Structures are given as structure tokens and as C-alpha cells.
Structure 1
Amino acid sequence: MALVNEILSPTNLAVSLLICCGRFHLGSSLKCYDCLNRNCENTKECTTEDACLSLTAGENIVRQCIKYSDCNFDLLSIKFPTFSGFKFSCCQTNLCNSGHALKMTTPILVLLGALLSVIWSWI
């Protein structure tokens, strides 16, 4: 029983959580969806880019890697001159330009918040 209490100590849980969270991003480059349509399943590992782009103009959708510094309306207007009145977003986490990022991120954030509050109450 003492071993279980030691394993479940707030300090050990906090350190384990930090190690687990840190491992997912060490040594890997950013991955983005890469396609020109709504049903996007192609992914690409970004080489020199540090963000993912999701650009929508009517029925046209572009998802790809991009430099975060290029993620502004003026530069995108030059890069995509045939798309008028487009909306865009840029993000910097793996596969975040799917169009479903908010739906997937919200439950994860709620779970993480609950976990952190439980850990905090033990400290």
C-alpha cells in the first residue's frame, strides 16, 4: 500500500505528466494536412515551415504547411490571387488545420484542466 501511495503522490504524478507531455514534441517536426479539398486525409511533414494553414473561399479549401510569418491577409492574397473573400487560420500544432481542431481540442483541454485541478488539490 505504501508503494501505491508513493506512486500516486502529487509530485510523482506532476513529474510524470510533464514528461509525457514533453515527449510528444521532442525531435519531431510539425505535421499538417496538405490538400485542396474538403475531404482531406493527406498529411505532410513540414520542413522549413512552422505553421499549418487552412484557407477557405466558398467551396475551395487549401490546407498546407506555411511559415507563420507569411500567415497574413496581404501575403496570402498574393499567393492565392484567384481566391477572393477568403477566410484563413494558421496554427502551430500537429494536424491542427483539419477544420475539426476546436471539436477535438476542447475535450482535451477540459480533461487536462480537471487533471491539473486534482493534482493541485493534493499539493
Structure 2
Amino acid sequence: MKTCLSVFLLAVGVSMFGLGESLSCYSCPDGSTERCEKVQQCSAAENSCLELSSDSTGKTYSKCLQQTDCDFEKLAAMFTISRFKFNCCQSNLCNSAHATAARPLIGLLAGLAALYWVMH
């Protein structure tokens, strides 16, 4: 029983934390008026995903980014847009308008349910 539990916990840990894999972000650096579905593996230096929405053009820009560049003035210079909203996040594929905070919660609940099943 302990071996089974150890293997299960190791599998959950690997799936939740990725063992050193780089961050994945949606990537539409030229902007899109539709949902961005292209996925990019970020470099080791890029630790955030950006989603930036232009108020004037209606386009949404997505890409990998260093967290230190997640600043209004730096982004305004990078995209040459004056009015926009932006969000930076640090989990896989979190920079989508359709991403929700429930995704990590669902994974956690599934892991707990499986743990309960293994122990009983």
C-alpha cells in the first residue's frame, strides 16, 4: 500500500510541477482579433505569459515575457500602443481570455479524489 501511495504521489507531483519544464504560453505577438491558439515554449529567461488587449484596435497580443518586462511603460514601448489592458501570469497557458483560475483547482481536486480512492 505504501509503495502504491508513493508512486501515486510522485506521479501527481510530476504532473503538477513539470520537473523543470519551461513555461508554455499562447503566442500571437502580432495581435489577433480571434482566439489565439498557437502555443510557444518559453525560453529559460521568460518566466511569464502576457496577454495584452488594445482598446483602439481590438487586437489581443499574447507571448512569453520576462516578469520584469510586465510593466505598463515597457509594454507601451514594446507594442507602440497607447491604450491597453494587460495581464501577466506564471502558469502554463494562463494568458488566454478563456483561461480560468479553476484549471489548477480541478487538477488538485482530481488528485485528491485519486488519493482518496487509493487509500480506501
Do the structures match in fold with TM over 0.5? yes
Q: What does the per-residue CA deviation read over 1:47-70, in whole Å, with 9 as the maximum and x for residues that have no partner? A: 131111000013111000000111
1:55-94 to 2 correspondences below 5 Å: 55-58=52-55, 59-81=58-80, 83-94=81-92
The aligned residue for residue 21 of structure 1 is 12
Letter in 2 for 1:69: T
Comparing both structures, which one devotes a greater share of its residues to strand?
2
Q: Which structure would you say has the larger RCO, counting Cα contacts within 8 Å and 6 or more residues apart?
A: 2
Change (3 A) 1:76 1:19: same
Which secondary structure state, in structure 1, belongs to the residue aligned with residue 73 of structure 2?
Answer: helix
- Paired with 2:35 and 2:86, the residues of 1 have a C-alpha distance of 17
Greater C-alpha radius of gyration: 1
- Paired with 1:71 and 1:96, the residues of 2 have a C-alpha distance of 15
- Aligned residue pairs total 108
Return the match for 2:35 from 36, 39, 46: 39
Change (3 A) 1:34 1:21: same
Specify every segment of 5 or more residues in structure 2 that has no aligned partner in the other structure, as ranges: none
